[in-house]
């Protein structure tokens, strides 16, 4: 059993310095938000938490991109080590050579980067694919809680990614997002489906507020491998608290032996 804090942040539009200060404050708020629950073991932030998500941001993405994570990643590493908490950083623009990626990192309690994920599915309807390079790697990584993987926003519409993670051993998928109104039904339905069909936890953090012509509904979620909602936020900035127990993953997979019953040889074009 471990305690989770989802930070429903109202990202300050196009203001990385201001957002870094808010991140510091919100980590401390998340660590203090026990309220009789399990202590904060894992804190999760939303997508594009340093500048926001819009076509306007994408047009000047070079301004917001940080070489190999830059000062924002250093901040998250310092906060994780000093507060003795694991952090899923939320995503922000990472520059590597000529490419810029929409990247999220997982940092452990010592401040060590355990893994990172570069968003694979970029939303072409808003020219996200013109600003960023598509990620290609699908890492499943070990944590003190168990094996996890990460995805970002639009990725939840692509079951191929979550199934690949599951077959590779993930017992939880961490989702960082800027999912806007009016798509709350899509958000809840897709995340629940990903949890049920893969028999794992889905731990999803969505931003709130308004920016760049969009409004964001929050409703960050922790969903267990039965598809039951453990915790859900509202539309206000704040901390959503809950917990997960990976023993439940094993129980569900023993009760419904879906992985043993798969027939991958019969799925044309499916590689896992």
CATH number for position 167: 3.60.110.10
User: What average pLDDT does this structure show over 190-214?
Assistant: 97
Q: Which of 88, 119, 128, 248 is catalytic?
A: 119
- Evaluate whether residue 157 is within a structural domain: yes
> How do residues 148-191 score in pLDDT, each as one tens digit?
999 999 999 999 999 999 999 999 999 999 999 999 999 999 99
Other beta carbons less than 10 A from residue 206's beta carbon: 28
CA–CA separation, 248 vs 263, rounded Å?
A: 24
- Evaluate whether residue 267 is within a structural domain: no
CA–CA separation, 230 vs 249, rounded Å?
A: 14
- Evaluate whether residue 266 is within a structural domain: no
- Evaluate whether residue 142 is within a structural domain: yes
- Evaluate whether residue 114 is within a structural domain: yes
Q: Band of the pLDDT at 267, cuts 50, 70, 90?
A: confident
Q: Which of 153, 171, 205, 248 is catalytic?
A: 153
> How do residues 79-130 score in pLDDT, each as one tens digit?
999 999 999 999 999 999 999 999 999 999 999 999 999 999 999 999 999 9
Q: Band of the pLDDT at 272, cuts 50, 70, 90?
A: low
Asked whether residue 35 carries a pLDDT value surpassing 60, the answer given is: no
Residue 56: give the domain boundaries: 2-260
Taking each helix axis from N to C end, the angle separating 70-83 and 16-32, rounded to the nearest 10 degrees, works out to 20
- Evaluate whether residue 265 is within a structural domain: no
Active site residue 116: no
**Greater model confidence, 231 or 35:** 231
Percent of the chain whose predicted confidence (pLDDT) is above 70:
97
pTM: 0.97
CA–CA separation, 164 vs 178, rounded Å?
A: 23
**Greater model confidence, 129 or 35:** 129
Query: Is 268 exposed, middle or buried, given 0-12, 13-18 or 19+ CB atoms closer than 10 A?
Result: exposed
- Evaluate whether residue 272 is within a structural domain: no
CA–CA separation, 272 vs 263, rounded Å?
A: 10
> How do residues 128-144 score in pLDDT, each as one tens digit?
999 999 999 999 999 99
Q: Band of the pLDDT at 268, cuts 50, 70, 90?
A: confident
Tally of domains in the chain: 1
Active site residue 243: no
- Evaluate whether residue 221 is within a structural domain: yes
């Amino acid at each position: 059993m471990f305690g989770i804090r989802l930070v429903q942040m109202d990202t300050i539009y196009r203001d990385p310095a201001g957002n870094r200060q808010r991140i510091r404050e919100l980590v401390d708020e998340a660590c203090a938000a026990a309220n009789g629950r399990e202590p904060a073991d894992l804190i999760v932030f939303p997508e594009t938490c340093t500048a926001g998500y819009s076509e306007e941001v994408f047009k000047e993405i070079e301004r917001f991109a940080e070489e190999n994570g830059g000062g924002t990643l250093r901040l998250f590493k310092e906060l994780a080590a000093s507060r003795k908490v694991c952090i899923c950083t939320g995503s922000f623009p990472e520059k590597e050579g000529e490419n810029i990626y929409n990247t999220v990192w997982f940092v452990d309690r010592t401040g060590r980067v355990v893994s990172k994920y570069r968003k694979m599915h970029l939303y072409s309807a808003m020219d996200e694919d013109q600003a960023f390079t598509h990620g290609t790697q699908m890492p499943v990584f070990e944590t003190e809680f168990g094996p996890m993987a990460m995805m970002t926003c639009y990725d939840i519409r692509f079951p191929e990614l979550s199934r690949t993670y599951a077959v590779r051993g993930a017992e939880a998928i961490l989702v960082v997002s800027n999912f806007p109104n009016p798509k709350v039904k899509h958000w809840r339905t897709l995340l629940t489906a990903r949890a049920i069909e893969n028999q794992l936890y889905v731990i999803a953090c969505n931003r709130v507020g308004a920016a760049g012509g969009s409004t964001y509904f929050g409703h960050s979620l922790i969903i267990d491998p039965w598809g039951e909602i453990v915790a859900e936020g509202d539309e206000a900035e704040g901390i959503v608290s809950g917990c997960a127990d990976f023993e439940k993953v094993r129980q569900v997979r023993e009760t419904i032996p879906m992985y043993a019953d798969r027939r991958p040889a019969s799925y044309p074009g499916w590689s896992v």
